Structure 1
Amino acid sequence: MHELGIIVHITKTLQSVAKENNLKEIASVTLEVGEVSSIVPDYLTDCWEYYRKKFPLIEHAEMRIEMMPAVTYCESCEKTYPTVEYGRQCPCCGSWETYLLTGDECNIREIEAQ
């Protein structure tokens, strides 16, 4: 379960942001999680519920997860398409010369403080 490691990293980032901005408490954090990131949102939430209790800064903070769609780009026909539905092969032209544009990320989108 790599979700706990992700939560540890997010917590360190929140602590750093709080220190830089003299924040006493984080009210919420919103994450962007890619559809093909291999992160299980329920596991991430469970890890957050466990780990946040160890730090007064985030003890009462809510974590919101926004799923980001996976989008692939085809270099042959220069079109984009939904990755999960079609995989690596372009549904428009059949080319395998494709790469993932979005969908494997995990980013902090927003931090709300009190």
Structure 2
Amino acid sequence: MHELGIVFHIIDSLKEVGEENHLKQIAGVTLEVGEVSGVLEDYLQSCWRWASDRTELLKGASLTVEQIPAVTFCEDCKQTYSTTEFGKICPYCKSEHTYLAAGNEFNIKEITAC
């Protein structure tokens, strides 16, 4: 369960933002999570509730998760396509010279302060 590690990383980042901006309380956080990142939202939400309530800055803060679609780029025909629908083989030219262009990341998108 790497979700707890992700939550700790997010909380550390939010503490830095809170200190830099003199925030006393954060009401909510919007997180972008890649479709093929391996992060399970139910576990992430559960870990968030447990960990955020142990931090004064984040006590009671909500977590909203937005999914970043997985997109693969084909180096041969220069097209992009849905990774989850077609996998590694390009549906346009059948090449295997492809790589994941988006969908494996997670980012803090928005912070809502009280």
Q: Decide: shared fold, TM above 0.5.
A: yes
Query: SS in structure 1 opposite 2:24?
Result: coil
In structure 2, stretches of 5+ residues that fail to align are: none
The number of residue pairs the alignment matches comes to: 114
The equivalent residue for 2:67 is 67
The equivalent residue for 1:28 is 28
The equivalent residue for 2:89 is 89
Please report how far the alpha carbon of residue 52 of structure 1 lies from its aligned counterpart in structure 2 after TM superposition: 1.0
Q: What percentage of residue pairs aligned between the two structures are identical?
A: 52
Q: Which amino acid aligns with 2:82?
A: P
The equivalent residue for 2:113 is 113
Distance 1:18 1:56 in 2: 11
Distance 1:52 1:96 in 2: 43
Please report how far the alpha carbon of residue 98 of structure 1 lies from its aligned counterpart in structure 2 after TM superposition: 0.5
In structure 1, stretches of 5+ residues that fail to align are: none
CA-atom RMSD in angstroms: 0.5
Query: SS in structure 1 opposite 2:38?
Result: coil
TM (norm. structure 1) is: 0.98
Please report how far the alpha carbon of residue 60 of structure 1 lies from its aligned counterpart in structure 2 after TM superposition: 1.4
TM (norm. structure 2) is: 0.98
Misfit runs of 4+, over 4 Å: none
